[in-house]
Amino acid sequence: MKIRLLSQHDIRRTLTMEQAIELMKDAFVALTQGTIQVPVRTNITNVSGTMLYKPALMPSSSIFGLKAVSVFPGNADHKLPVTTGVMLINDSETGLPRALMDAQYLTALRTGAASGLATRLLANPETKVAALFGTGGQAACQLQAMLAVRSLQQVYFFSRKLANAEAFCHEQAELADSCKLVPASSRDVLSECGLITAATNSKTPLFADEEIATGVHINGIGSFRPEMAEVPSDTVCRAEVFVDHREAALHEAGDIVAPMKSGRLPSDFTPAELGEVLLGQRPGRTSEEQTTFFKSVGNAVQDIVCAAEILSIAERESLGQIVDI
């Protein structure tokens, strides 16, 4: 039995951030319309971290996909990646495996692309200053996404250690081009920011509601369990909230689950899905002064649409290695 092995290098050669953002349109519309099968993911957790198993079936591309991804926060202390994974693709007609691809970069790319799409749809068009919390494995793609959809002049970076923010800004300077990257030592700068992205494993909010600007758009992509939260409840309760997948977000996103449990959000709270906004079923931003919050816990539909495109390009251009297993 033969299978195509695709490395991170191969994947980087196939998809740009701009292409991935366009694919997210298809992903979230399909998710809302139910044209892609995406069973509930399986999470298995121990004291060190979490394994997530995410299956999907994409009939239009004739493939099954299963992504196994790990999130082990302590890896950072050992100079190991916090998030790693692999993606297995099977043919939907025969069930035979067609490809096994690196999912570490795939996860970062599709997560950044989702934030990029949300930012394009929801952030004030004239936003020039942004902030990013987190300088780990998700950060570079989050920055790429910001720059792909808004003409930013300055981005502030927050990390647990200022030295990490300084190093990240230095590493990403070429990517930013005319945008100034600034390590942030104080949250006072948040009052300047029309866009905030949180990409951390924090269990407590990263800022206070009174610290952020009027009309800000916030992307929350780091917290994926009920006990985690990056955005304060005060902000969530007054913002217009959008999600990738409503059922998952209402069960897994601590930023939303906590204020629902405390009664600050109604038990029948129904935030809009991005797919509903794209289909015109729910409104997006309705005023410059409105605070908008996109909460993503990640969904296999994002992986399968990207993997399908990657595999199509790889087969056409003979990328990767064909091995017998």
Residue 178 confidence class, pLDDT cut points 50, 70, 90: confident
Q: What local confidence, expressed as pLDDT, does residue 222 receive?
A: 87
**Mapping DSSP to helix (H, G, I), strand (E, B) and coil, where does residue 25 land?**
helix
Select from 24, 39, 37 the least CA-distant residue to 275: 24
150/95 Cα distance (integer angstroms): 42
Radius of gyration of the chain from Cα atoms? 19
Select from 128, 291, 124, 286 the least CA-distant residue to 213: 291
Q: Give residue 4's identity as a one-letter amino acid code.
A: R
> Where does residue 5 rank: exposed (0-12), middle (13-18), buried (19+ CB within 10 A)?
middle
Q: What local confidence, expressed as pLDDT, does residue 83 receive?
A: 83
**Mapping DSSP to helix (H, G, I), strand (E, B) and coil, where does residue 113 land?**
helix
Q: What local confidence, expressed as pLDDT, does residue 60 receive?
A: 85
For 265, which DSSP code? Answer: S
24/276 Cα distance (integer angstroms): 13
Residue 54 confidence class, pLDDT cut points 50, 70, 90: very high
* pLDDT for 225 beyond 90: no
* pLDDT for 289 beyond 90: yes
Tokens 């694919």 belong to 23
**95-114, pLDDT tens digit by residue?**
999 999 999 999 999 999 99
Write out the H or E segment, with its range, that includes residue 56.
Answer: strand 50-58
Select from 234, 201, 193 the least CA-distant residue to 220: 201
Q: What local confidence, expressed as pLDDT, does residue 137 receive?
A: 85
* pLDDT for 186 beyond 90: yes
| Structural domains of the chain ordered from first start | 2-107+301-324 (3.30.1780.10), 121-298 (3.40.50.720)
